[in-house]
Amino acid sequence: MKELEFRDVTVRFGTGHGTVTAVDGVDLTVPAGSVVGLVGESGSGKSTLAKAAVGLVPESGGEILLDGRPVRRTRGRRTLQMVFQDPYSSLNPRMSVGDSIAEAMPRGRGRKERRAEVARLLELVELDASRAGSLPGGLSGGQRQRVALARALAAEPEVILADEITSALDVSVQGAVLNLVRDLQRRLGLSILFISHNLSVVRYVSDLIAVMYLGRIVEFGPAAEVLSAPRHPYTQTLLDAAPRVGTSLDDAVPADRSELDGEPPSPHDPPSGCAFHRRCPYGPLVLPERTICAEDDPMTGADTRPHRAACHFAADLEVSIP
């Protein structure tokens, strides 16, 4: 078990006037043996942050550390493994399930040992070992995602980054995959960064929750506290948008708010002050006297506020969610 840490990580795309800051000075820690849920709307920078951790996109600034050492300098097995959203494109369609899993294993094992390990990993993700000879085309979406998890585990990682791994699955299958992730984490003691746009999904598996908006972490704290008493208006609005009993995860809409109906600000031209102030039910949109929200960056001093909330009025926002 190892701790994954992002220190002031920034990721930019493009140059000159076309530069887009996808991740903006993120500080985030995934403690050893814990699950951190990273939640936010599409385009908030969640996946880009994870891709920076595994080297798929370069960071423009800051550091990504594993137990205090830069991830890029870690040798040997690939200690960070990412499981992607789409189970239909993450596996080579021409490679058998067993070969895909074996390919990810550290070198030095004989053929017999690798076959035995493939069988063990398939059983670990609740698939029959006979599936080793199957091609991905013969599997359902849920089964493919289980294979992707087995493939990630085959590399003997210290940290797994799970990027929207249930969003492409039928609602009836999502619960089974979430149960599997939670069981694997407990049995293996893995550190997991679990990314989702849906707080209802994140609450099920996470010890800690980080909320991301327009490239920044705007709230972070123990899952139970963030979900029961959010300190950032954006988190509260996400909770209001969470599905009610009998509502599909894909069809959830805000229960009594319309602030998130519009598109978030463009990262090409982010607002001054608080990036959420144009949509905030507690900012100048509703309370014109709160000009500080449009003028001053609330990230300054966030470490001293409840849940490290990037909100000037976090201490006053005492919203209890039943």
Q: Are 208 and 222 in contact (CB under 8 A)?
A: yes
Q: State how far Cα 55 lies from the chain centre.
A: 16
* H helix count then E strand count, the chain: 9, 10
Q: pTM for the full model?
A: 0.90
* pLDDT on residue 261: 55
Plot region of 113 (φ>0 → left; ψ -120 to 50 → alpha; else → beta): alpha
Q: Are 16 and 38 in contact (CB under 8 A)?
A: no
Please check whether residue 87 lies inside any domain of the structure: no
Q: Sign of the CA dihedral 251, 257, 258, 259?
A: negative
Please check whether residue 53 lies inside any domain of the structure: yes
Q: What is the DSSP string of 72-88?
A: GG--SS--EEEE-S-TT
**Per-residue model confidence as pLDDT tens for the chain (322 residues):** 799 999 999 999 988 878 899 999 999 999 999 999 999 998 899 999 999 999 999 999 999 999 999 986 444 457 899 999 888 888 999 999 999 999 999 888 889 999 999 999 999 999 999 999 999 999 999 999 999 999 999 999 999 999 999 988 888 899 999 999 999 999 999 999 999 988 888 988 999 999 999 999 999 999 999 999 999 999 998 888 765 544 443 444 333 445 555 567 877 788 999 999 999 989 998 999 999 999 999 999 999 999 999 999 998 876 555 4
The two structure tokens encoding residue 111: 């053929």
Please check whether residue 40 lies inside any domain of the structure: yes
CATH no. for residue 163?
3.40.50.300
Give the chain's radius of gyration (CA, Å): 21
Strands (E), the chain: 4-13, 20-30, 35-39, 61-66, 69-70, 80-83, 159-163, 191-196, 208-213, 216-222
- Number of compact structural domains in the chain: 1
The DSSP letter of residue 306 is G
* pLDDT on residue 242: 67
Please check whether residue 198 lies inside any domain of the structure: yes
Distance CA 36, CA 226 (A): 12
Q: What is the DSSP string of 104-155?
A: TSPS---HHHHHHHHHHHHHHTT--GGGGG--GGGS-HHHHHHHHHHHHHHT
Please check whether residue 222 lies inside any domain of the structure: yes
Please check whether residue 188 lies inside any domain of the structure: yes
Please check whether residue 310 lies inside any domain of the structure: no
Give 192's strand partners: 35, 160
The two structure tokens encoding residue 54: 């595994």
Q: Provide the domain limits for residue 71.
A: 4-79+157-229
